[in-house]
Structure 1
Amino acid sequence: MYPDDLPDIQFTDPDIRFDYHEATSMIERYSAFEDLLNANSAKGLVMPGSRPHNPRNMIPVTAKASASQTASLFHDPEYPKALIAVIPAYNEELTIGTVVLRTRLHVDHVIVVDDGSTDRTASVATLAGAEVLQHPINLGKAQAMFKGFARAREYNPLAVVMLDADGQHNPDEIPELLKPVLAGKADLVVGSRFLNGKNDIPAYRIIGQKTLDLATNAGTGTKSTDTQSGFRVLGRRALLNLDFYSEGYNIESDMLSHFAQRGLTIGEVPIGVSYAVTNGHKKNPISHGLDVLSHIIGLVGYRRPLISFGVPGGVLTVIGVFSTLYSVTELYTTGDFHSIMFIGGITSLVLGLLLVTTSLILNSLVQIVKMDT
């Protein structure tokens, strides 16, 4: 769906979700934005905060582009879009227009993946100037992102920005996230909410996020301060290494784990965040955190068995040894036999040795798999 393919909207249409004045205001702002783009293009200027374009890679912008001209912008390989933003959206008609318009100030092209929305998310995003891809049903954030990344790769971009559609991320911070990637210093840049001491983050979120960070870092070997941040920039190497599977909100952790395993360079820059989003959050933070945590634990068990099995096994072994020795020592020195402690110590010792042995075997298998790949 392209901007020029949008059918004429009658303000008396019973399906419209905003009144006449809101619709008129939106269209006027969009028209003003297009006029500014046209004026700057005619002068050879670029929008504030955007990357200077190579004139050979630009299509002249006319006052009124035809449908065929607009379509060619999305398909003609002669005019690559160097900077692309991919935004997954599910029932975000209230915020998607603003997010797209503000994002377009800093990138060459915006792709919105409408993940089975039942409102006018797709129409508003198209009106704001985004290319819209649609899922017939809600498949989750990970699948929406993979669909957007696949489309973005067709343009052979230098970098792809990923951010949320609900307005919690500030598109004006895109240039800062782009800098390390465009300078060749990082393959993936994560916007960290915890590097910026000015963010007002609820205490329960901090506790939950730090727990997920600890688990993710233990499983991936990274040292990220915000493993769950959805505001990121992927360079070309990262775009060529998106051959992993993920579901729902696990994509952030899975991406870090996969890229770290492939030896890609991962960087961080501080970002702001706003939790006072118009449409609310799609999932309860507690259930979201528990889902991600359970996935991370499984990931740690698969990727780093020495941690998931070896560490608990080592602890149980130590407890078993001390409990058994204490019971035997008490028996010989005082004549008292602590049967419960002795049995518990032997049980802990056996279980601990089994876990340690299992971790060593699984770790050997992991190393074999790594060598084969």
Structure 2
Amino acid sequence: MRKLSIIIPVYNEAKTVHLILDKIKKVTLPDGISKEVVIVDDRSSDDTVDIINNYISKNPEMGILFFLHSTNKGKGAALHTGIANTSGDYIVIQDADLEYDPNEYNLLLRPVLDGHADVVYGSRFMGGNPHRVLFFWHTIGNRFLTFLSNMFTNLNLTDMETCYKLFDARILKTLVLKEKRFGFEPEVTAKISRLKKIRIYEVGISYYGRTYDEGKKIGWKDGIYAIYCILKYGMLRLK
């Protein structure tokens, strides 16, 4: 039996974390694939921890692994903790909000299980799945960051900043990842691109984005830092 490890970095998601866990619980994966849920709370200041503990106590059959950071370190740091504590054959990243649909794990898994891919990115900018219409400048920003990243990695991704990234666990665990906040996306992309004989695929996914009033956290400063990370890790690739 192979296993899909689902890493959920959490920070102040009391309104939605139980809902995303319900969705994950209901997902049916292909035959021979089981689920492992690994949650890492990055020192939430709302009721997130209590809600997760209550959910775990009511759903022991899910075998959820729950880790707590003693201080707020950032999404990347939460992912580092999650990666180190997974036991699955494959690893997928899942935000604790409702912007991405866990039913689409099967879309991400398909190229891997068919023997074509080692890494699969879920693109919000390709395919015919539903996409909530929101921020024009966010879309332009995401496309620019992907374009800049592609220049250094020599990949032709359409959505480098996507949350939905699925990895062969053995490959991901070989990477030395340093970025503790939102620099994780360009760093992991740059470092994956440098590995020899790694097959990277994209699949179209749906996207149910939220507004800042609904809890969206990433802002323009994170975009500026992403540019810095693209240049930093891209230059290392060119050396």
Distance 1:297 1:177 in 2: 28
Which amino acid in the other structure matches residue 115 of structure 1?
D
Checking the alignment, whether the CA contact within 8 Å between 2:76 and 2:181 is kept in structure 1 is yes
Q: Where does 1:1-373 land on structure 2 (aligned, <5 Å)?
A: 54=1, 82-106=3-27, 108-129=35-56, 130-152=64-86, 155=87, 157-197=88-128, 198-199=130-131, 200-263=133-196, 264-276=198-210, 279-284=214-219, 286-304=220-238, 366=239
Checking the alignment, whether the CA contact within 8 Å between 1:101 and 1:128 is kept in structure 2 is no
Q: 1:221 Cα deviation (Å)?
A: 1.5
Q: Distance in 2 between matches of 1:109 and 1:301?
A: 36
Q: Secondary structure at the match of 2:182?
A: helix
Q: CA-to-partner distance for each residue in 1:43-93, whole Å, 9 max, x for gaps?
A: xxxxxxxxxxx5xxxxxxxxxxxxxxxxxxxxxxxxxx7122100000101
Contact 1:166 1:279 in 2 (8 A): no
8 Å Cα contact 1:94-1:279 kept in structure 2 = no
Q: Is the 1:250–1:295 contact (alpha carbons within 8 Å) kept by the matching residues of 2?
A: yes
CA distance in 1, matches of 2:166, 2:214: 25
The SS at the match of 1:110 is strand
In terms of fraction of residues, the more helix-rich structure is 1
Query: 1:201 Cα shift?
Result: 4.7
In structure 1, how many angstroms separate the alpha carbons of the residues matched to 2:218 and 2:189? 22
In structure 2, list runs of 5 or more residues that go unmatched. Answer: 28-33, 57-63
Residue 166 of structure 1: CA displacement?
Answer: 1.6
Percent identity over the alignment is 27
Is 1:91–1:121's contact at 8 Å kept on the other side of the alignment? Answer: yes
Bigger relative CO (Cα 8 Å, ≥ 6 apart): 2
Q: CA deviation at 1:97?
A: 0.5
Runs of 4+ in 1 over 4 A off after TM superposition: none
Partner SS, residue 196 of structure 1: coil
Number of residue pairs the alignment of both structures matches = 222
Q: Secondary structure at the match of 1:217?
A: helix
- For the aligned residue pairs, the C-alpha RMSD in angstroms reads 1.9
Cα distance in 1 for partners of 2:222, 2:9 equals: 17
How many Å separate the matches in 2 of 1:182 and 1:104? 21
Cα deviation for residue 279 of structure 1 reads 4.1
Task: Give 1:243 deviation, angstroms.
Answer: 2.2
CA shift for structure 1 position 204: 0.8
For residues 180-235 of structure 1, the C-alpha deviation after alignment (integer angstroms, 9 at most, x for no partner) is 22233211111100003542352211210111011101111111100000112111
**Max Rg structure:** 1
- 2: distance between equivalents of 1:215 and 1:109? 34
Letter in 2 for 1:82: K
Distance 1:237 1:202 in 2: 36
2:41 counterpart SS class: strand
C-alpha distance in 1, partners of 2:113/2:55? 26
Which whole-Å CA distance do the structure 2 matches of 1:301 and 1:259 have between them?
A: 14
- Shift, 1:262, TM fit: 0.9
> How far apart, CA to CA, are the structure 2 residues paired with 1:236 and 1:91?
27
Question: Relative to total residues, which structure has the larger strand share, 1 or 2?
Answer: 2
Deviation string 1:119-142 (CA, Å, 9 cap, x unpaired) is 221222233333210101110111
Supply the distance in 2 between the matched residues of 1:84 and 1:298 (Cα, whole angstroms). Answer: 29
Residues 123-166 of structure 1, C-alpha deviations (whole Å, 9 max, x = no match): 222333332101011101111001001100xx2x2211211112
1:118 CA displacement: 1.2
SS in 1 for 2:7: strand
Code of the aligned partner of 1:194 = F
Q: Distance in 2 between the 1:159 and 1:303 partners?
A: 26
Structure 1 residues 145, 296: closer, same or farther in 2, change over 3 A?
Answer: same
TM-score w.r.t. the length of structure 1 is 0.56
CA distance in structure 1 between the partners assigned to 2:72 and 2:115 by the alignment: 36
* Rounded Cα–Cα distance in structure 1 between residues aligned with 2:15 and 2:117: 34
TM-score, reference length from structure 2: 0.86
| Contact in 1 for aligned 2:194/2:237 (Cα 8 Å) | no
Q: Give the Cα separation in 2 of the matches to 1:188 and 1:149.
A: 15
Structure 1: 5+ residue stretches without partners: 1-53, 55-80, 305-365, 367-373
Is contact 2:190-2:234 (8 Å) kept?
no
